[in-house]
Amino acid sequence: MDCEKATHSGESVTLYDAIGIDMLFSKEVHIEGIHFSGLKNGALILRTAWDARIINCTFWNCGSGSIPATLLTQDSTRGSNTNSCKFIGCRWENHLEGALATQVEIKAPSRQNFFDSCKFHGDEDNTNPLIYIHDDKWNRNFFVNCAIGWNGAELIKIENATDHPTTLEACLIQSWGYYDSDKPYVNLIDMSKGYIKLVGCMLIGGDKGIYAADDGSMNPSYVEVNATRFYGHKTTAIELVNSDIHASGQLRISDCGKHAIVITPRWHSIISGLHIINTDLDGLSTPAIWVKSGGLKILSDVWITNVDVGYQFDATPEIAKNINIRGKKFENSGTATIASGATSVTVDHGLVSAPSKVLVTPRGNIGSIWVSNVTDTQFTINCSNAPTEDVQVDWYAEV
C-alpha cells in the first residue's frame, strides 16, 4: 500500500502465512476496528508511514519467530522515517504455538509514535521480547496507560537507541516474579545502549524490573524514573552496569529477593526520594542499595525498612544525606550500668555501622552526661559525678 489518506474500518483479516497490511510511504492512513489473526508474516508493517491512526484493532497470534506482529521502520529506498503514528485502544495477544513473536518492533529511524490505552500480552513459551526497540537514533516513542505483561522473554527490550527516551507513563508492566516459582523469570525492561523514562508506572514481578548492561562506551544506557513502584522482583528492582540513572521523587520498592538497587554508574547518577521495604526475601543479608563504583553523585531522602543490610558502598556517593534506616539492625536500644564509683561505661551497640544519633537517659543523679568514642561497634557513656551505687542508663542509637 503506497497511498495518502486511506481508510480501513470494521474488517477482519485472517490470512495464515500472509502479511496483513504493508504500508509503504503512506500518509494519514486510518485503520479502525480490524481484527488481525494468525498472520505469521506480520499483521501490520509501517514503512515510512506518517500520521497513521490505528484505533481499536486486535492483533491475535500474529508474527512468528523473528517476524513481529507489528513493525515500524524505514523504507531504505525512500530514506525517510516512520513518525507521528498513533495506536489507540489496540490489543496484541500471543498464545499460539508457532506464532510466538515480538508484538511491536520499532526500528530506525522511527520517532514520535504513540501507543495509548493499549494491551500487550505474551506467553511463557515466547522467547522474543513483547516490545523491541532497536537501532533507532531518533526514538521518542510514547506508551501511555498501557498494560504490558506475561512473557517468556523480556517485556521491553531496547538496544542502540540512546539519543531520546522511550517514555512510559501510567503503565502497568508485569510478569511472573518472586512468588511464582514455577514460571520463567525475565527482566521486565532490558537495555543495552538504551534510554527509557518512566513516570507513574508500576512494575511487578520478573527477575529484575529494569536491567541495563553496557560496555563502558561514551553513550551508556540511561534510566529516568519518577513516581513509580517496583514490587515482587525475583532478585532486584533496578540493576545497572556501566549505565546511569536519575531517579527522583516518590519511588517505592518492595518485596524483592535480594536487592532494591544495584548500580555501577558510568558517568553520573542521582537517586532521591526512595522508599525501600522488605528487599531481602531470600534471607541472605544482601544490601538493599549496593553502589559498586564511583559516579553516584547524590543519594538522598531514602527510607529503608525491614531489611538486614541497608546499603553497601564500594564507592561512597559524593553527597549522601537523609538516609533513614529503620531495619532490624540499624537502630537499637538497651540499658547500661554505670558502676558505683565509676564515671563511664562502654556499650556494644550492635549496629551495622557507627551511629549518627545516640540518646541516653540516666535513672539516677549522676550530673552531666555525654557520649564519646563512637565507633562501628561501641560508644562510651560518660558522667560528671561518680555515683555511690550502681545507676542504670537507658540508651537509644541509630545509624
Domain boundaries of the chain, sorted by first residue: 7-326, 331-398
Q: Using an 8 Å Cβ cutoff, are 78 and 46 in contact?
A: no
| pLDDT value, residue 137 | 65
Full 3-state SS string of 128-159 = CCCEEEECCCCCCCEEECCEEECCCCCCEEEE
DSSP 244-291: EEEEEEEEEEES-SSEEEEEE-SS-EEEEEEEEE---TT-S--EEEEE
| pLDDT value, residue 284 | 81
| pLDDT value, residue 88 | 97
How many Cβ atoms from other residues are within 10 Å of residue 365's Cβ?
A: 9
How many Cβ atoms from other residues are within 10 Å of residue 150's Cβ?
A: 21
* Positions in the chain whose pLDDT score sits under 70: 1-19, 24-25, 75-80, 96-99, 108-110, 136-139, 181, 326-331, 352
Backbone angles phi, psi at 378, to 5 degrees: -145, 165
| pLDDT value, residue 110 | 64
| pLDDT value, residue 30 | 86
Query: What is the grid cell recorded at 178?
Result: 518472586
| pLDDT value, residue 109 | 63
Backbone angles phi, psi at 220, to 5 degrees: -80, 170
CA-wise closest residue to 54 among 72, 75, 77: 72
Residue found under cell 535513672: 363
> Which tens digits make up the pLDDT trace of 84-116?
889 999 999 987 666 688 999 888 666 788 999
Q: What pTM was computed for the model?
A: 0.80
Question: What is the pairing mode between strands 110-111 and 142-144?
Answer: unpaired
Q: Is the dihedral of CA 318, 323, 327, 329 positive or negative?
A: positive
| pLDDT value, residue 388 | 93
Cis peptide before 109 (omega within 30 of 0): yes
Residue found under cell 545507676: 391
Write the CATH number of the domain with boundaries 7-326. 2.160.20
